[in-house]
Structure formats: C-alpha cells, structure tokens
A and B are shown apart, each in its own frame.
Chain A
Amino acid sequence: MQQLIYFFRKYKYFLFFLLLEFIAIFFTINNNNFHKSKFISSANEITGGLYEKTTQISNYFNLKSQNEELILENKNLKNLLEKYTSKEDSTLRVSVIDTINYQQKYTYTEAKIYSNNFNNPNNFILLNKGKNHGINIEMAVVNSKGIIGITEDVSANYVRVQSILNSNSKINAKLKNSSHFGTLIWDGKDYNIVQLEDIPRQAAIKVGDTIITGGKSTIFPEGILIGTIQKINTESSNNSLDIKLFNDMSNIDNVYIVTALDKEEIRTLNNAINE
C-alpha cells in the first residue's frame, strides 16, 4: 500500500498527462469515424457564433468574385427557363398536363459558408443553417459548379459538412456519356484533384470526360457536376481515375443544401426488403 501511494506521488504529473492524452486520442479516433464524429465539432453555438461574426467582416473581401459566380449561375438558370417558356408558344404544346407526372423530388436551401478547411486529410465545412431551418444529417451540399459534401452534424443554427475532401467521403459517381458508375474518394494530396475508383474496365474512358453524381444514393440528385478526368492510372489495380474538380474548393462561399423529399420512402422500402 505504502509503495502504491509512493508510486502515485512520484508519477502524479505523468499519470495526469496520460489521462489527458487518452482523452485527446479518444476525440481524435472518434473524429476519424464517420458516424461518431460529434464530440468535437464547430457546429455549436459558441464556435458557430464566433465564426458568424468574423464571416460578416471577411465577406467583403471576396464580394466581387462571388457576385460574378452568382451572375453566371443566374444566366444559366435564365437560359434554362427560356427553353421552357418558348415551348408554350410552339405548335407542339402539350395539352394535358398531369401534375402527378411532375412530382418534385428535391428542394434547395441556400446557405453561407462560415468556415472551410481544405488542407487537412479530413476536412469539414461549417454552414449557417441548422435544425431551425429544416436541415438534418446526410443531406447533400452543392453549389452552381458542383458537389461540396454531405451534412453530418447539426445543431440548432449551424451544420457541419463533411467535405468531399475527406478520407471518409465516399460518393457514388458516374460518367456523363455512359452509365458506368464508381466511387468518388479523396487521397488527401491535392485539394483540386479527387479520385474515382471501381469504374468497370469495359467503360470507354478518355481524358477530359465529365464526371457527374450517379443518383444511386438517396442523398445526391443525379447529374450534379463533379469534374473532368485528368489522368487515367492504368497501373493501379482498382482502375482509379484522377478527377479535376470544377469547384475551386479553396474559394467557395454560397452553397445549397439539397433536401431529398422521398428519402424516407426509399429508406422504408429498403428496410422492408432487408427484413
């Protein structure tokens, strides 16, 4: 007993140090585990609120580039709208409009980025929308140029997004000109380049082909832009491709959170099959 007390006396700082290090390691391991990364998150009222204050100031520095991006997106949407309005005048006008055929599948919520990291192996983005705005976990986050990530931790007013630049990120993606699909991952090296794996060998691929989201998951709508093929790694076993992103992940500001309206329905259907 005497020995034991003496031991604790002698190594009290070391034991205290070990205890705290274990706590830190525990947080680190949990953060690298997709469904458990909730302990240390910037999506809380203190850090979220402070980021809100600093964003209000730093917003002014890139107003110009963000404006140009929004105008470009507006132009594309206006052109798309023009296509539909001109159809009304043509002779091929559809006389019967069955509203059941036009069921809306997704709604978009606009959001602003409060904090964005892209230089770590596991990157996260903080947005200014939360439970109060109807945001939940596992929703897609996109902008006009392509995909950004998936929401993964939500508080009342803020949501943390797992960026596509995260080693845990796995997104279903396919070629635009065919239906061959694969898994989009990131190797942690360059924030402009992501990797597409497990594309079937018979797929005709060449450098410059466009990659879009596959729509095989309930999170992302089909056809959201991702990037173009930059390099085909023929020597690797799993047929991986280097994809150059359309988005400059270091310069994003305004994004949209996508709510999949029939997600619950698909999930219950899948569960029914599994049982």
Chain B
Amino acid sequence: MNKALYITFLFLFLLFLQVFLLNNILFLGYINPYLYVAFVIFYPLKKERYLFLFLSFLLGLSIDFFSDSGGINAFSLLFIAYLRLFLIRVIFKKTEQDYLLFNLDQEPFGKVFNYVISLILIHHFILFSLANFSTQNFLSVIVNTLYSSIFTSVLFFLGTYIIRKKK
C-alpha cells in the first residue's frame, strides 16, 4: 500500500514538475531539462514488469498531452523503461535474486553515475530525433541531446543529493 502511494505521488509530482515548471525554463532559449526520466530510475525493481512499463508509457503520454508532442515522450520513456533491466544487469552485475534488495544509494557513485547518464542520454537522443521527425537538422538533434542531458543530469544529482541529506 505504502509503495503504491509512493509511486502515485512520484508519477504526479514528476508530471506536474515537468509540464508546469521545467518545460518553461528554456535556458539560453532552447535547453530544457527532462527530469521525468527519474521515474524510471526511482521505480522499485521487480520481476513483474507490466505495471512498470505501462506506467512509464502513461507518464510519457500525459506529458505529450500537455506539450502537444504526439507520442514522442511516451516512446522514449517506455524505451528506457524496457532497457533499464538490461543496464542494471550490465553495470551493477545484478541477478534476479538481488532485485528486491537493490538500492541505488548503496551502490558506488561511479556505477550509479554511468547508469543514470546512459539512461538520460538514450532517452534524450530518442526524444529529440522523434521531435525532429526528419533527417534534416541532425546536428541540432545532437547538440540538443548533449546540452539537455547535461542539464537533466545536473538537476537529477543535485536533487537526489538534497533529498538524501534530509534523511
């Protein structure tokens, strides 16, 4: 019960944070953080994945509804949601038995950093490629991906640092 409440709160918090605050930042005119990827990072690891995949899809789709962007956020968030298990297996060397006790706070920072950065980079690259929706302006896709990824990861690590300090 407690977990369901936490996930609902996380879902709504990230959705409203993204559409009402972060989508309006536009640092230097075009750089936006996409912090809602934190949903995939924070969602508890489980063997059963239907709900997780569906909720990721739903969160992306809700953001698409607000920002009139078709299905690009849904596609990219679902993609990293599916990819998450693979990355955990590769970077943290975890097996199915470890899922229940897995906690990002207890992992070495270097590994967590790699994990988060790869998720963010993949997500942003798919997001901007789909938003562009053509082979033109490919350079701007790369530039947008890089700058926004830096912005998102700085916000993410600062945010998690502050939250952890409080505990």
**Given the complex, which residues of A lie within 8 Å of B53, measured CB to CB?**
13, 16-17, 20
Given contacts A31-B71, A119-B29, contact A13 B50 (CB under 8 A): yes
Which residues of A, 1-50, contact B by the 8 Å Cβ criterion?
A: 13-14, 16-17, 20-21, 23-32, 37, 40-42, 44, 46-47, 50
B75 CB contact (under 8 Å) in A24, A54, A120? A24
Would A28 and B67 count as touching, CB distance under 8 A? no
Which residues of A, 111-157, contact B by the 8 Å Cβ criterion?
A: 115, 117, 119-122, 124, 126
- Interface residues of B: mostly helix, strand, loop or mixed? helix
Would B131 and A121 count as touching, CB distance under 8 A? yes
Q: How large is the interface on A (under 10, 10 to 19, 20 to 34, 35 or more residues)?
A: 35 or more
Would B67 and A189 count as touching, CB distance under 8 A? no
A17 CB contact (under 8 Å) in B29, B72, B78, B132? B78
Instruction: Pick from B56-64, B89-97, B112-120 the stretch touching chain A.
Output: B56-64
Residue B103 lies at the interface, judged by CB distance under 8 Å to chain A: no
CA distance A47 to B136 in the complex (A): 32
Instruction: Tell me the number of A-to-B contacts counted with CB atoms below 8 Å.
Output: 111
Contact with A along B57-83 (1 / 0, CB 8 A): 100110011111111101100110010
Give the nearest-CB partner of A26 in chain B.
B71
Residue B30 lies at the interface, judged by CB distance under 8 Å to chain A: yes
Would B140 and A189 count as touching, CB distance under 8 A? yes
Given contacts A20-B54, A20-B78, A188-B137, contact A31 B49 (CB under 8 A): no
Residue B26 lies at the interface, judged by CB distance under 8 Å to chain A: yes
Residue B20 lies at the interface, judged by CB distance under 8 Å to chain A: yes
A27 CB contact (under 8 Å) in B74, B79, B136? B74
Residue B32 lies at the interface, judged by CB distance under 8 Å to chain A: yes
Q: 3 nearest interchain CB pairs?
A: A31-B70, A27-B71, A24-B71
Sample of 9 more A-B contacts, CB < 8 Å, known A16-B53, A46-B65, A119-B26:
A20-B78, A27-B61, A27-B74, A28-B71, A28-B133, A42-B66, A42-B68, A47-B65, A122-B69
